Structure 1
Amino acid sequence: MDDDNLLDSHPDLMDPEWRKHAQTDAWLGAKKDRKQFRKQQMRSARRPRRRWWIFAVFVLILGVTTAAIVYVGRRPAPVAGPPNPTQVAQFAHVDLARPYDGTPAQNWPKGLDGITSPAAAPVGAFKAEAVADAYAKTRQAITAAHLDPAVLFAHDPKAFLALFAPDQREQLAPRLAAKPAKDQAGFDSYLTEIADGYHLLDAGPRTFGTLTARPGEKPGELAVDAKYVISYAFDNVHPETLTSPNEIVSFLRVDETYVVAAGSRVAKSSQGLWLDGGQSATSSVGCAAFREGFLAPGYANPPAGPSAGDQDAPGYYDPKYPVPTIDDCH
């Protein structure tokens, strides 16, 4: 008898109950296999979707990061802060086309426009028109003393003298005509005269200050207190050697009082404009020229030149502070 017949005739296989259980187990096993097969198919179907979701998130993050980098790259550079109003940068790039950069004068108006006054109004017995006239005369005097090319370069004081009352001219003329003497100028100088051999840049002098009218000490006198700073930018043939704007920018700080005398109680020869005293100080100037009554730039000093003045004192650059009592060259 062959093996197949022996297997078919096995007693267990001939038992109907056993056959029933065997068929049931076979059906359940096949069902379990089918479920597992479907799960595997479902996993296989889901895996690509998960990869696509991860890829989409990656693309989104990459896009946001790129946009942020582009925005930062295109964002305007931070705006430089305003210049220090009370100090000149000790070490800074010097550009002759913009000589006042890095100095308190960086944003000051060119010429006399930086010296302002309130709207003219009555002061004591003087009407608004008289106050406006006093402001105008004071501006003319400041211009003639410190901004007029005839005084700056030709050292000619005639236009300045012509602005004053006859009696005042008589007092001033001998002083202005006298040859400057060593150590007799500086604070007491009435005019700004550029030392020979030096030239100002086209940026021109700049000013910052105020005029304030008040009653004078005597009847018929209207006083104008002038508090101001004037900056001068000098040319230099070797700008690449400069290390700070204080080598080419000089400052003149002045507090002074002008008086307009008028009325029947004032002698005719004394009627008009008077200079009634004042004080001044300089910063970043050539000391040798200064001692002889002339203005020269700071680079005129020897490399180890004197620097006795307190150059951080705010009064050098801001007229709301007192005029410094220590000067660059003293």
Structure 2
Amino acid sequence: MLSTGGVVVVLAASVVVVGSVDRGATDSGLTGAPSTTATTQTEVRRVDLAQPFAGTAAAGWQDGAAGVVVPVPTPLAGFSAEQVAGALTQVRDVLITARLDPEVLYGHDLDRLAARFSERDRADVHTNKGYRTAIAPGSTLLGVPAKVAGTMTAKAGRPGELLVDTSYAFAYAFRPPDPERVNDPLHIISVVRVRTQYGFYDDRWDATGLTALDWSSYSYSVDCAAAEAGFLAPSLGKGGKPDLDAGDAERDAFDPAAPMATESTC
């Protein structure tokens, strides 16, 4: 069972503190019509709903599943290159299912995600939203592919254990209730960064699916109330004033290689 820790609620972002399994373990309120003049405090960033990521750090990322890339497999600590390739492919499949599959995002079919995990983890997949991105009730994605960037690495663990570490960022574009009131991409774009570790074992390789070991996640530019409940919804320009420089916060939130945040700015 994963231990999720808690959401630390403190620009609208949320943190889920690292969970582990027994492996040892702008102030930018919405305005009326979009302003035609940039003020000295905040630059208005126009939003094209056909290209909602334009002007953000995610604009150049891959679309959807194309952003989850399996590295070239090599033999590792008793595991053949074919076994390593199989493990990496399983991890890629579960990331795509958990973070990009609409049926899973909206919670309509969690069985397809649970089936990819080991038997001991399957029940937890249905109740623990940390395993997936959970779109908040009443929120709807815009219909363009999510943008994805990150890395996946296989390494040897304890004797007979193969570990796969991942660090990814997923940027989602939401359909705004009132497009005319959107004057910043981050009103409708939310970013989820997730770091995970999965284990594979030579004594039960084919008998089980993924074994979830450690994970942590961080979401940025989100609705804080939804985040506290474990769901993802866009900020729509609401949220607290960031304590850190907004430019730095945004850059780090989008960068899967940056240190994972330990505090929320909701």
- Which band: TM-score by shorter chain? 0.7 to 0.9
Aligned residue in 2 for 1:177: 127
Residue 232 of structure 1 aligns to a residue whose secondary structure is strand
Cα distance between partner residues in 2 of 1:156 and 1:192: 13
Shift >3 Å, 4+ stretches = 266-269, 307-311
Give the 5 Å matches for 1:3-14.
none
Cα distance between partner residues in 1 of 2:80 and 2:261: 35
Instruction: State the shift of 1:300 in Å.
Output: 7.0
Please report the TM-score for the alignment, with normalisation by the length of structure 2.
Answer: 0.76
Report if the CA contact (8 A) 1:213-1:222 is conserved. yes
Cα distance between partner residues in 1 of 2:135 and 2:102: 10
Report if the CA contact (8 A) 1:110-1:204 is conserved. yes
Give the 5 Å matches for 1:165-314.
165-170=118-123, 172-173=124-125, 176-177=126-127, 189-217=130-158, 219-263=159-203, 266=204, 271-299=208-236, 301=238, 305-308=239-242, 310=244, 311=246, 312-313=248-249, 314=251
Give the 5 Å matches for 1:22-101.
91-101=44-54
Q: 1:234 to 1:120 in 2, by over 3 A?
A: same
Structure having the higher helix fraction is 1
Please report the TM-score for the alignment, with normalisation by the length of structure 1.
Answer: 0.62
Unaligned runs of 5+ in 2: 1-41
Cα distance between partner residues in 1 of 2:136 and 2:120: 30
Structure of greater Rg? 1
Cα distance between partner residues in 2 of 1:111 and 1:235: 17
Cα distance between partner residues in 1 of 2:243 and 2:211: 31
Residue 105 of structure 1 aligns to a residue whose secondary structure is coil
Q: 1:309 to 1:143 in 2, by over 3 A?
A: farther
Q: 1:177 to 1:253 in 2, by over 3 A?
A: closer
Cα distance between partner residues in 2 of 1:309 and 1:192: 26
Unaligned runs of 5+ in 1: 1-88, 179-184
Aligned residue in 2 for 1:162: 115
Residue 289 of structure 1 aligns to a residue whose secondary structure is helix
Pairwise CA RMSD of aligned residues? 2.3
Instruction: State the shift of 1:210 in Å.
Output: 0.6
Report if the CA contact (8 A) 1:227-1:255 is conserved. yes
Report if the CA contact (8 A) 2:170-2:191 is conserved. yes
Cα distance between partner residues in 1 of 2:92 and 2:205: 24
Cα distance between partner residues in 2 of 1:198 and 1:210: 29
Aligned residue in 2 for 1:325: 262
Instruction: State the shift of 1:166 in Å.
Output: 1.6
Instruction: State the shift of 1:198 in Å.
Output: 1.5
Instruction: State the shift of 1:177 in Å.
Output: 3.2
Report if the CA contact (8 A) 1:228-1:255 is conserved. yes
Residue 227 of structure 1 aligns to a residue whose secondary structure is strand
| Residue correspondences, number | 222
Aligned residue in 2 for 1:71: none
Cα distance between partner residues in 1 of 2:262 and 2:68: 23
Identity of aligned residues (%): 37
Task: Kindly provide the CA deviation profile for residues 281-306 of structure 1, in whole angstroms up to 9, marking residues without a partner as x.
Answer: 110001111111111001173xxx32
Instruction: State the shift of 1:165 in Å.
Output: 1.6
Report if the CA contact (8 A) 1:131-1:213 is conserved. yes
Q: 1:134 to 1:90 in 2, by over 3 A?
A: farther
Aligned residue in 2 for 1:149: 102
